[in-house]
């Protein structure tokens, strides 16, 4: 829906893409899920999280995008035109000593799955691809 609204603004009002609507969720000091409209592109993730009440005491990682397709990010990373959300995720629980990865075109890519395995303290024992 936002894409259509931004396209209409570009055509009708000749407005360039300079801001985004964002969903911020997770381990926050404010409400767990918040929506912000017209956040400027280039704004730091830390500034967005501050508007959301700041980070909670314990979070595992920051994700720009969704939980599987999103990418790990940092506080100083900028909001870009493809950013739809920021998640302050739970801390990773310790995983098994070894873990296998199943990489699927409709889910997380191998790099993301390897990040998650490392965060759990697990060694990747093998990788399989569904397609």
Residues 16 and 64 in one domain: yes
Residues 84 and 103 in one domain: no
Domain-located, residue 24: yes
Q: What is the pLDDT of residues 86-130, one digit of tens each?
A: 999 988 889 899 999 988 877 778 888 898 899 999 999 999 988
Q: Two tokens at 25?
A: 């969720």
CATH number of the domain bearing residue 50: 3.10.20
Average pLDDT, the chain: 89
Domain-located, residue 73: yes
Return the bridge partners of 40, or none: 19
Reduced to 3 states (helix: H, G, I; strand: E, B; else coil), residue 34 is strand
What's the full length of the chain, in residues? 131
DSSP secondary-structure letter at 70? S
Residues 74 and 125 in one domain: no
**Mean predicted confidence (pLDDT) in 51-61:** 89
Domain-located, residue 93: no
Confidence of residue 30 (pLDDT cuts 50, 70, 90): confident
Specify the pLDDT at position 59.
86
Specify the pLDDT at position 104.
83
Taking alpha carbons only, the member of 106, 112, 123, 110 closest to residue 87 is 112
Q: Quote the domain boundaries for residue 122.
A: 98-129
Angstrom CA distances, 32 to 26, 36, 72, 78, stand at 5, 13, 19, 22
Domain-located, residue 23: yes
Q: What is the count of structural domains for the chain?
A: 2
Contacting residues for 1 by C-beta, under 8 A, at least 6 apart = none
Reduced to 3 states (helix: H, G, I; strand: E, B; else coil), residue 80 is coil
Contacting residues for 67 by C-beta, under 8 A, at least 6 apart = 87, 89
Computed on alpha carbons and rounded to an integer, the radius of gyration of the chain in Å comes to 17
Does 26 score more than 90 pLDDT? yes
User: What are the respective helix, strand and coil percentages of the chain, to the nearest 5?
Assistant: 20, 35, 45
Specify the pLDDT at position 117.
92
């Amino acid at each position: 829906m936002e894409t259509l609204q931004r396209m209409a603004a570009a055509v009708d009002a000749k407005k360039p893409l300079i801001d985004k609507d964002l969903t911020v969720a997770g381990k926050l000091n404010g409400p767990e899920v918040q929506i912000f409209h017209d956040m400027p592109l280039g704004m730091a993730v830390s500034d967005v999280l501050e508007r959301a009440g700041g980070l909670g005491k314990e979070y595992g990682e920051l994700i720009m995008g969704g939980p599987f397709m999103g990418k790990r990010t940092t506080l100083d990373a900028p909001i870009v035109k493809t950013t739809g959300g920021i998640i302050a995720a739970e801390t990773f629980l310790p995983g098994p000593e070894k873990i296998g990865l199943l990489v699927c075109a409709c889910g997380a890519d191998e790099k993301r799955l390897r990040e998650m395995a490392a965060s759990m303290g697990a060694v990747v024992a093998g990788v399989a691809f569904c397609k």
